[in-house]
Amino acid sequence: QKPVMVAVRDKATRDQLSRMNAAVMGTDRDPFYGAPCVIVVLADPTYPTWVEDGSLVLGNLLNAAHAVELGSCWINRAREMFDTEEGKALLRQWGIPEHYRGIGCCILGYADENPAPKERAANRIWKI
């Protein structure tokens, strides 16, 4: 298993990642919803289960955050972010091999509100 996590708390780097992610979305709003910490999960695509391994890392981050009552959210578009020259430059700066690909970002912070859970869609669970 070769996923790596980069915990970003430096505001300038966090804001850079936000701009990169927003550019992929085609917007100028903050895709990280103001969260002060972003954990970037990257993985080595030469391994056959790189996407699954990195996704499990992200899922476990979300579960761990929930366990300590910390707000979290999986933010997509990390692959597109780190496929750019700017993304490759960050990988070099962080000492991560340039062939690593983005899996996703986990944002962490304390939510301003706790909305009620949405009702589950019908036919999501099949009992046989």
Q: Can you tell me the mean pLDDT for 105-114?
A: 92
- The dotted CATH code for 4-109 is 3.40.109.10
Length of the chain: 128
pTM: predicted TM-score of the whole model, two decimal places: 0.91
Instruction: Classify residue 128 as exposed, middle or buried by CB count within 10 Å of its CB (0-12, 13-18, 19+).
Output: exposed
User: Which residues have a Cβ under 8 Å from the Cβ of 78 and sit 6 or more positions away?
Assistant: 21, 40, 41, 42, 102, 103, 104, 105
Q: Which residues are CB-contacts of 61 (< 8 A; sequence separation ≥ 6)? A: 5, 39, 41, 72, 106
Give the range among 8-12, 21-25, 84-88, 117-121 with minimum mean pLDDT.
117-121
User: What is the structure's pLDDT at 7?
Assistant: 99
> Average per-residue pLDDT in the chain?
95
pLDDT digits (tens, 9 = 90+) for 31-40: 999 999 999 9
Cβ–Cβ < 8 Å for 122, 92: no
Which sequence spans correspond to the domains of the chain?
Answer: 4-109
Q: Enumerate the H helices of 70-118 as residue ranges.
A: 78-82, 85-94
For residues 73 and 69, give the distance between their C-alpha atoms in angstroms, rounded to a whole number: 13
pLDDT greater than 80 at residue 98? yes
Q: Across residues 43-60, what is the average pLDDT?
A: 98
